[in-house]
Structure 1
């Protein structure tokens, strides 16, 4: 009996210990989660002044006491929309942004203590310069393009902008066709896929704070375009071209990997590619005969479909495109017009050897670029590689396609 009593006492002691431990843990958690209580009320900030900037202001002020944990600013960026900005007590300046319009705006400042108790408010009038999205919208240019419309503007502040294009469906109902998000300084893009018939488009824009511009309505007739017949295309060798004094690369007994493989309709085969001899040098250019004279609208380039060469190896990264209707047979550049300098961008920006699903999706779809409408009709194209992804001395890629209107 004594042993049983002793055993029960042990159980009782252990259970009491567990209860006490739970109590301690529970109490500790409650104490940690409760905001500290202090009776010291923070004093309002003083000596507030501001410096105007596009779409915002920079505030400077003095903090009066040690009770302040941070400074809070509240301000209305547009009717009914309030933003807050918080800055540590260790700073005496803060940047406010997102105002929808230039002019005079009210800002209210509070000192806030560790218990989230606010001081009496300090309200000031600040002057805001024209917001970047408004400045960018003032440069908006819309014009007809092959298969659709072209939108361009200058975004000097590199603001995050969302440019929305709307049009009508087959029932005449308005719908959003595309929202183009960008922070590029020079914005230029085209939306295509329309028949060459007059239709109405609307263009509007908003910034990263939800501020929206007016809507511009235009009537345009998209220019006719078609995918040019690849079976008519091939290499046109001129003096100074790579193919004039260099052989195209070959391996394992296969035929030389000449430009004809760029027009075989195969973008997924690892060997059906253009491939110059390793170490033959960069820059390198070759000439293409499109087979027809065309006012080009756009083109697409496919990288070599070999996993170790995705955004690597001899795949072109930076290149120039030149056009001519009747090139000089001596191979000089005098009879050529520069269409543009282009760079293939990796969507993720990830380092060499790391590719996201988006990177691979874009790679397999092909990288598409616009041709300025001002270039005019051409029949011959010179493709000049300036830099490869692997920064190596040869060029290798899978396919090219061109769109335009044939003469």
Structure 2
């Protein structure tokens, strides 16, 4: 009996101890409140909290800006231009988690309300005319380009940008959810979401950085876009869903420079919802992947769905899984075996492969374009990072 009482007492102590520990570990953390504005010139950290982004915030060369997991950063378009800009030499460290992403949003929740996240580096580019540097098209008119392939602009993990796409400064160009100007391979881009923007979800202007585990949902122009000789080699799990408005699933160009940059991708899903229309009436762009101006790439395990016929002004436009827009790209990139798409599953789409005009006949060399009805495309785990107002973005 004494042994039994002793055992019960020990067990009671153990259970009491566990309960106390759990209570201590689950103590709610009060979110901080504050404003992020002006130039970031030194190492600056923001703890978990709810912050207001006011104006064009620039992380200057030599500075690092860190924002803790679970934070929400909100801007308001009535205050004018808002954007988070990382200049070459600066770093942005935002490492959320699947259950505690970092969210950038705007008060009105209207697409095109702010400038999104813009990052600059000095990795290699090849711009129109063959040059190695250029001026940004974001309205800020900053230089980009260089020779530092391993440029490190920081780490973005589990970050969501909502309602971006506003024209900045000179008002001549729209902006994307995420814009990467000559960003290098030392930068980490993982589990990023661009939601309901008025231009592209993600755009790369040259550089060597890769993007893994990405969602582009409901963006008005292209889900993914690149130019200026972007050459990321380790891209995987790209998921795009075009809803109300949308042009290409992926727009690919190399600024009219014949090249061997050949960015590489595995596990890509491109979907277009029924009733989705081009961004601008009269400018019909309804294809899943468009190659133009010497663009190329290597894609494996791709799912394409929903790029069917679109009728405007009494004319029926046939969507294509793969569109080769111009004759030069067809000659140098297709015939030159610099475009490769293997394991492609195509459903609810009018054409597999098409040229941009009736004079362009596209014939991939053997093994450079293959289909597979069992392709699976992007493989992403749902969670708070991929859920907006109760909507799971992975449809």
Q: What is the TM-score when the length of structure 2 is the normalising length?
A: 0.27
Relative contact order (alpha carbons < 8 A, sep ≥ 6): 1 or 2 greater?
1
Higher share of residues assigned helix: 1
**What TM-score, normalized by structure 1, do the two folds share?**
0.27
